[in-house]
């Protein structure tokens, strides 16, 4: 099946138009293993499909850049150039990459605090992501958000409160339906958030209103340091919607993730209502940089997943098997990714932190031009005068 034409933003603000059609020499046939999907009240996506060679190469390059970016974040954190929380997604790259390559800029994405890869895929540069982590003014959220609060066009975060983004995602889906758009909202959350009451409230509302909402659980097996089976009475998260069809996906295979995400987008955009997906994945590191990730699982378990299920190695094998790229070409992609990320790290490190000006604290409270005259503060003389960019120091 052919991708439809779409206008897609690339890193750095460059925009290209996808070709509406591809010649047969540009297409490759993919055959997924039967274990790729499991359905709940739903016929699973086709296991055999065609896609463009260019798409496969792009997904490989996207994944190696995200991994390099996360490894750079790890090093910067250990060098104390990144402070506070820092949640990395090494091992989970296939989900952000598979989703983004399957959808269009009109679709929306919202996720939890493990969000760096999603911000990059939705248009933020590596420099903007790393700048945000280091609290630089050039960061994607001007250095105010840090690891958990990143945004990009069509990407609504990066949300730090466990599960809180799920009803927000239902709201994004409502917006698509209200505006008559053939678009969907991919609403991601982890297995650790799956038991939140607001998740089930959002399911119910999305089903009642037939919203184009893709509820997607990134099941990386551990909610912080707690194994899924210890926190969830049922670990088949794709069946949690009860009255909503579900689909379980091998989230360590970017091709399965791509095919399932494309299927889900089409399902929702055609007016069939919500879906509950479960991307079964694995994080190689701990919950965050403060967690070594070895007290509640063995090193052998992590090594087994790295050696047998790595999403980058899996796509590399496909590229070689299909004759899409040679070993030398793949090495050149890896080298280019390393060079790009190293340059972006250096540029982010060289950037200045925000100036020590009080008005910076208030600049994102309102859309410029829509401010109220005075924003009441914590105490009466904390009130901020937007016009004069100063405190009133007035006692009411």
CA distances from 18 to 61, 62, 259 (A): 17, 17, 18
Judge residue 211's burial from the number of C-beta atoms within 10 Å of its C-beta, 0-12 exposed, 13-18 middle, 19 or more buried. Answer: buried
Tell me the mean pLDDT in the region 60-75.
98
Beta carbons of 110 and 165 less than 8 angstroms apart:
yes
Tell me the mean pLDDT in the region 268-284.
96
Alpha helices, H only, 249-351: 254-267, 299-309, 311-321, 327-350
Beta carbons of 127 and 138 less than 8 angstroms apart:
yes
What is the predicted pLDDT for the residue at 334? 97
Question: How many whole angstroms separate alpha carbon 268 and alpha carbon 203?
Answer: 14
What is the predicted pLDDT for the residue at 395? 66
Using pLDDT thresholds of 50, 70 and 90, give the confidence band for residue 266.
Answer: very high
Distance in angstroms between the alpha carbons of the first and the last residue of the chain: 67
Structure tokens at 90: 């090494």
What is the predicted pLDDT for the residue at 228? 94
pTM: 0.90
DSSP string, 139-184: STTTTSSGGG---BTTB-----STTTHHHHHHHHHHHHHHTT-S--
Beta carbons of 276 and 215 less than 8 angstroms apart:
yes
Using pLDDT thresholds of 50, 70 and 90, give the confidence band for residue 340.
Answer: very high
What is the predicted pLDDT for the residue at 396? 60
Question: How many whole angstroms separate alpha carbon 240 and alpha carbon 292?
Answer: 31
What is the predicted pLDDT for the residue at 277? 98
Given a cut of 50, whether residue 5 has pLDDT beyond it is no
Question: How many whole angstroms separate alpha carbon 68 and alpha carbon 335?
Answer: 11
Q: Which residue pairs, CB below 8 angstroms and at least 24 apart, start in 260-263?
A: 260/36, 260/37, 260/45, 260/98, 261/98, 261/99, 261/102, 261/103, 261/186, 261/214, 262/45, 262/102, 262/103, 263/45
Question: How many whole angstroms separate alpha carbon 187 and alpha carbon 210?
Answer: 15
Percent of the chain whose pLDDT exceeds 70: 93
Given a cut of 50, whether residue 13 has pLDDT beyond it is no
The residues, any chain, with a CB within 8 Å of residue 126's CB and separated by 6 or more, are 11, 65, 69, 72, 120, 340, 341, 344, 345, 348
Given a cut of 90, whether residue 344 has pLDDT beyond it is yes
Given a cut of 90, whether residue 9 has pLDDT beyond it is no
- Of 1-15, 49-63, 214-228, 322-336, where does mean pLDDT reach its minimum? 1-15
Question: How many whole angstroms separate alpha carbon 1 and alpha carbon 18?
Answer: 15
Domains of the chain from N-terminus onward? 31-350 (3.40.50.970), 358-391 (no CATH)
User: Which among 304, 298, 291 has a CA at the least distance from the CA of 223?
Assistant: 291
Using pLDDT thresholds of 50, 70 and 90, give the confidence band for residue 359.
Answer: confident
The predicted-structure confidence for 17-43, as pLDDT tens digits, reads as follows 344 445 557 999 999 999 999 999 999
Tell me the mean pLDDT in the region 359-367.
88
Pairing of strands 246-250, 374-375: unpaired
Given a cut of 50, whether residue 15 has pLDDT beyond it is no
What is the predicted pLDDT for the residue at 29? 96
The predicted-structure confidence for 163-183, as pLDDT tens digits, reads as follows 999 999 999 999 999 999 999
The predicted-structure confidence for 378-391, as pLDDT tens digits, reads as follows 887 788 999 888 88
Given a cut of 50, whether residue 50 has pLDDT beyond it is yes
Given a cut of 60, whether residue 135 has pLDDT beyond it is yes
Backbone region of residue 91 per phi and psi (left: phi > 0; alpha: psi in -120 to 50; beta: other values): left
Mean pLDDT of the chain: 92
Given a cut of 60, whether residue 247 has pLDDT beyond it is yes
Beta carbons of 68 and 337 less than 8 angstroms apart:
yes
């Amino acid at each position: 099946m052919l991708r439809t034409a779409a206008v897609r933003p690339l890193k750095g603000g460059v925009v290209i138009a996808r070709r509406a059609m591809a010649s047969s020499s540009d297409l490759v046939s993919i055959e997924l293993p039967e274990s790729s999907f499991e359905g709940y009240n739903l016929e699973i996506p086709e296991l055999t499909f065609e896609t463009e060679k260019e798409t496969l190469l792009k997904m490989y390059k996207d994944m190696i850049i995200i991994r390099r970016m996360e490894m750079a974040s790890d090093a910067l954190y250990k060098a104390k150039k990144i402070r506070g929380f820092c949640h990395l997604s090494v091992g989970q790259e296939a989900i952000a990459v598979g989703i983004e390559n399957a959808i269009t800029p009109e679709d929306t994405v919202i996720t939890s605090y493990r969000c760096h890869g999603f911000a990059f895929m939705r248009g933020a540069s590596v420099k903007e992501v790393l700048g945000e982590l280091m609290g630089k003014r050039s960061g994607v959220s001007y250095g105010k958000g840090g690891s958990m609060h990143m945004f990009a066009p069509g990407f609504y975060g990066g949300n730090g409160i466990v599960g809180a983004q799920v009803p927000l995602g239902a709201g994004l889906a409502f917006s698509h339906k209200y505006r008559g758009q053939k678009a969907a909202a991919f609403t991601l959350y982890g297995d650790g958030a799956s038991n939140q009451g607001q998740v089930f409230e959002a399911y119910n509302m999305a089903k009642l209103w037939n919203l184009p909402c893709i509820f997607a659980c990134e099941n990386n097996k551990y909610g912080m340091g707690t194994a899924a089976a210890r926190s969830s009475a049922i670990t088949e998260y794709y069946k949690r919607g009860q009255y909503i069809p579900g689909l379980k996906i091998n989230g360590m295979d970017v091709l399965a993730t791509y095919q399932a995400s494309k299927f889900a987008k089409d399902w929702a955009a055609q007016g069939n209502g919500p879906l509950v997906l479960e991307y079964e994945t694995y994080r190689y590191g701990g919950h965050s940089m403060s967690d070594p990730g070895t007290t509640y699982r063995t090193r052998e378990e992590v090594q087994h997943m790295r050696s047998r299920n790595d999403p980058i190695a899996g796509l590399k094998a496909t590229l070689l098997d299909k004759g899409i790229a040679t070993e030398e070409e793949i090495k050149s992609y890896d080298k280019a990714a390393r060079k790009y990320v190293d340059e972006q790290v250096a540029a982010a490190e060289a950037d200045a932190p925000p100036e020590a000006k009080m008005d910076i604290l208030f600049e994102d409270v309102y859309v410029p031009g829509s401010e109220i005259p005075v924003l009441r503060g914590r105490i009466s003389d904390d009130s901020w005068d937007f016009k004069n960019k100063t405190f009133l120091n007035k006692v009411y």
